[in-house]
Every structure is written in C-alpha cells, then in structure tokens.
Amino acid sequence: MTRKTLLATTATIAALAFAAADLAPALAQAKGYERGPGPRQAERATMMVDRLFDRFDIDGDGTITREEFEAVHAERFDAADKDGDGQITLEEWLATRPGTGWRTDRAEAVFHRLDQAGDGVITREEFDAMASWRFDQLDLAGDGVVTRDEATEAMAQMRGRMQDKRGMGPGRGMMGPGPTQ
C-alpha cells in the first residue's frame, strides 16, 4: 500500500468516524432504533440528514455552504483546544466526548486517525483537512453548497462503499475500515 493510499484510507476512516460521532446521539435517541435493514432505515437516514442540517445550516436557508461547514468545525476545534495552543491532545479530545455515546477506546481510535502526522496531537491543519474532505464528500454537485438531496445521496453512497468494503449486505452500518482510493 502506498503512502498516498494509506493517507487517503486513513482520512476516509477518520471522516466517516467523525460523521458518525456527530450523528450517534440522534440515532441512539430514536424510538425503536435497531441495527441492520428494516422498515426504519429510511426514517433513520432522514433523521441523520436533519441532524446534519440542524448543526451546519447556520442561516437556516435549507442548504449548507462550505463556509458554514468550516465555521462549525472551527468552533468545534476551538472548543476542544482547551488550552488554546492550536492543537488538540488526546486528553482534550477525550474531554469533548462525554455524552456522545462513544466508548473511550473508540474515541481514542478516531483521535489517532485524525492525527495524520502521528505526533500525538491533532493540529488545526489536520482538523481542517478532514472537514474539507468531509464537505467534499457531501457536495456531490461540487458547487460549494450541500442540499438535503445531496446529503441524503452522499450518505447512501458512503453506506454502500462501507458495505462493499466489508462484504456486508444493505443496512449493516457505516463504521468500517473505509474505502481505499
């Protein structure tokens, strides 16, 4: 595996894990939530898109611009960077995870995926790169704006890639080793 492929794979894993972290609380609170295929799959997908728009559509116009997306991620970085030194340590990262439903080992694994340099900290550059890549995955039209339809389709595509990579059937989950590109 080349370094470029390894970095792309790691970035994919981190971005999907980060996306799942944003959406996990809403999924956990959903009445009748169950894993796997079933009649509630469309309802869960709609709920995930609703949560995405609740968090990132700052002006409430029904779309998410790159600027809105980056602004929310900048706030998240600043909130996690408790000492304001421009980087997030593992301790700072874990302190931001309470109430998200993440196990500590899972939160640590995501931290290490985001820490592209492997130096024990997530820099603003690493965090911003992840946010930019993540926005690009949602912006299917490539026009700098994510609509609800695009977000729904992008999530379906991510789910399909994850299932293909893991050899899983439909509706089996989004968290896996991630696609290699």
End-to-end CA distance of the chain: 11
Confidence of residue 170 (pLDDT cuts 50, 70, 90): very low
More confident position, 36 or 179 = 36
Show me where the domains of the chain are located: 3-166
Residue 121 has pLDDT above 80, yes or no: yes
Read off the pLDDT of residues 50-76 as tens digits, 9 standing for 90 and up: 999 999 999 999 999 999 999 999 999
Decide: 145 and 46 in contact? Cβ < 8 Å.
Answer: no
C-alpha angle 129/28/79, rounded to 5°? 40
Dump pLDDT digits (tens) for 90-116.
Answer: 999 888 876 556 678 888 888 899 999
Q: What is the pTM of this model?
A: 0.65
Question: Encoding tokens for residue 24?
Answer: 């996990």
User: Residue 176 pLDDT > 90, yes or no?
Assistant: no
